[in-house]
Structure formats: C-alpha cells, structure tokens
Structure 1
Amino acid sequence: MYPVTVKGDRVSLREFTPEDVDAVLAIYGDPVATRHLSFEPRTREQVQATITAVTNAARAEPRTEYSLAAALPSTDEVIGFARLAIDTQHSGQNSAQIGFALRPDTWGQGLGTQTVELLLTLGFDHLGLHRIWGARSPNNTASDHLMRKLGMIVEGRIRHHLLIRGAWRDSIVHSILEDEWQATAQS
C-alpha cells in the first residue's frame, strides 16, 4: 500500500519526503527526545540516511515497513516519526510492532496519543492485522500511560534487551489484539 495517508483531527500520518530531514533531525538529533528510544541522538547525515531508507522501503512489494511522518494537518509541519513494522518471521504477517517519537515541544498535548491511535487504525483497519505490539523503556511513564489508555496490555519485561549508551536496558512490551481494538474503537 503506497502512498499511505491516515488522517486524524490533530495529527496526520503521511509518507516521508527528502524535505523532512531537518524536521526529523529535530527529534532524532535531540538528546531529550531520544532519552527513552533504542538509539543515541543521530547526526544530520544519519537522519538523511534514515529518510532515504524509509522512502525506498515504502515502495517495497510486499510492503513490511510503514515509517510515516506525523504531521499537523493544518500546516503539514512534521512533529514526529511513526513506524509500524510487520513481523515477517513467525506470525504469518498478522502481527506488527509500532514505535513513535515526537518533538519535545509537542509533548503533553495529546499528539502522541493520536499518533499511536492512527498507527493502530492503519494496522487493524487498513492492513487487517491481528496483533500489534510496542516496547518502551521502563522509565518512559508517558508511553506507559498512552499505550494503556489506548487499550494496550502490558505483556512483560524483556531483560537487558538493548545496549544503549554503554549500558543494558530492559524493555516493557505492550500489545493489543484486533478484537480488543474493535471493542475500544466502538466505545
């Protein structure tokens, strides 16, 4: 499926373009924004390589990665990076992992909640997935609250999951199933 656009009232998800490098650098290059992510802050060259990779992956057949710009609908200003990656190894492509990051000056405004809600809409309503999961830093209480608010259940802890900044970090896994999403969406 290309191009992808999923619209909300406060955030829209759309394909990245080469012009989005600086907007993504404001997220991926920021130590505050990347504090709970699975990587250290990135340089402009690294972000440019990421945008090139995701724009190329967007046209793959079959498409298994949906890395999308989270933008404000009124201005198309990119404020976040949203990703849904289809699990291709063991699930029969009925499961996917989500991830997201927003520019710190947009935190606390409900934009992250709508970004994840749009990823769930993409996965369940457009791609017909059965299960969507996400992993977060144990210290990222905002993501914990956000995922629980959207009906995602805590499945458990992956111990020493990631080596970041020279130290091992655990990850907390949340997931939601298609029928749980349908029940949440209808309420």
Structure 2
Amino acid sequence: MRSVHYSGGRLSLRDVTPDDVDAIHAVYGDPAATEHLPFSPRTRAEIEQIVTAALTLAAAVPRQVYVLAVIDNESGQVIGVGRLRIDPEHPHSAEITVALRRDHWGRGMGTDLVRLLLAFGFRGLRLHRIWGARSPANTAAQLAMLVAGMVEEGRARHHVATPTGWRDSIIHSALRDEWERYRAG
C-alpha cells in the first residue's frame, strides 16, 4: 500500500488511522457539519467502522478510494475529512467530498481543501477529471468549489437519498488542463 502524505500551504492530507476516530467524529457527529451531507450525524462506533473500512480500501490494488485526514498545518490537528473515489469504469475520473470541523468554517479552509484534493488528484494521481456534488442549499461549498477552480455543470435531480427524503445535487467539475491554466493565470 502506498500511503498518502500530501501537503499544501495551510492544510495537509494523509490516510486516516484508528487514532483519528475522535477527530473524525467531531466532524461527522456534528449536526451542523452533516446538515448538507446525505446522512445523519454518525456515532463514534459508526466512525470506527468508517475508519476500518478506509484502511481496507487503502490496501486495495488498484486503489480506488482515498479517505484522508485533513490536517491543519499550524496546529497539527485533524480538522476534517477529504475523500477521493476513482470511478472503476472510468479510471481517469474521480469524485471528491469534503467535510470540515465547524470551528474552521469561514476562514477559506474549504477552498484550500478543495484545491489540495484537486492537486492531489491531478498531480499525484494523474487524473483527467475530478467532480463533486453539493446540496443546492450549501452555498459555502459552492463558493469553495468555484474559487478553487471548479466549474458548475448543473443539477442532478433526486441524486441522493437523505434522512429527510430525496435531494438534488449541484455538480461541479475540473479538468486537468483547465485546472493547470487556472492555476497559472
């Protein structure tokens, strides 16, 4: 297994470990942090299962799922989760998802996290296309993706089942060549 350690200016990414359960629970167990996600707040036991599954997925060959701890470089703390899932049918395309601890909202960390996942996917994994879906009501995610250089593609109707019913998603994407030009500009 090739472990991930990928650093940016304020944030770094690394594979999750069993030591991250409490930090991930601080994100996925928070009703505010999961408001726009397709699941209810998770219990600590559910987070333990997620981390165990992530370790198994990290050992797969070829590796298609990266569940990554998001580290605040200043404090060294795990402040979120970034996930990149390569499409097995189209191995040059991947979906990203992001979640940050609530006390790190409003400081541009979401944009930094999206940028870091794009850099990891395009530079580290040599992907061609990276996309993400967000709740139509999640304007913070919209801003983070747009500022990071992703393009809003459109709406996928009744894309995900949530605890309160079906929800549309707004799809954003980036292509490697466009992203490289965006970064150069």
- The two structures have a TM-score, normalised by structure 1, of 0.95
SS at match of 1:147: helix
1:122 pairs, out of 120, 123, 128, with 120
Query: Structure 1 regions of 5+ residues with no counterpart?
Result: none
**Cα distance, 1:2 vs structure 2:** 1.6
Q: Once superposed, what is the RMSD of the aligned Cα atoms?
A: 1.1
Post-superposition Cα deviations, 1:56-100, rounded to whole Å, max 9, x if no partner, equal 2112111001110001123321000001100112x2x01000000
- In 1, are the aligned partners of 2:112 and 2:148 still within 8 Å (CA)? no
Residue 81 of structure 2 is aligned to residue 50 of structure 1: no
**Cα distance, 1:55 vs structure 2:** 1.6
Residue 134 of structure 2 is aligned to residue 136 of structure 1: yes
Map of 1:31-42 to 2, 5 A cutoff? Answer: 31-42=31-42
Partners of 1:140 and 1:51 in 2: CA distance:
26
Query: Structure 2 regions of 5+ residues with no counterpart?
Result: none
Count of residue pairs brought into register by the alignment: 185
- In 1, are the aligned partners of 2:38 and 2:163 still within 8 Å (CA)? no
Partners of 1:143 and 1:173 in 2: CA distance:
11
2:184 pairs, out of 172, 183, 186, with 186
Residue 157 of structure 1 is matched in structure 2 by: 155
Residue 16 of structure 2 is aligned to residue 13 of structure 1: no
- In 2, are the aligned partners of 1:4 and 1:14 still within 8 Å (CA)? yes
Map of 1:53-132 to 2, 5 A cutoff? Answer: 53-89=53-89, 91=90, 93-132=91-130
Partners of 2:95 and 2:161 in 1: CA distance:
19
- The two structures have a TM-score, normalised by structure 2, of 0.96
Point out 4+ residue stretches in structure 1 off by more than 2 angstroms: none
Partners of 1:39 and 1:186 in 2: CA distance:
37
Residue 174 of structure 1 is matched in structure 2 by: 172
Q: Which moved more, 1:74-83 or 1:17-26?
A: 74-83
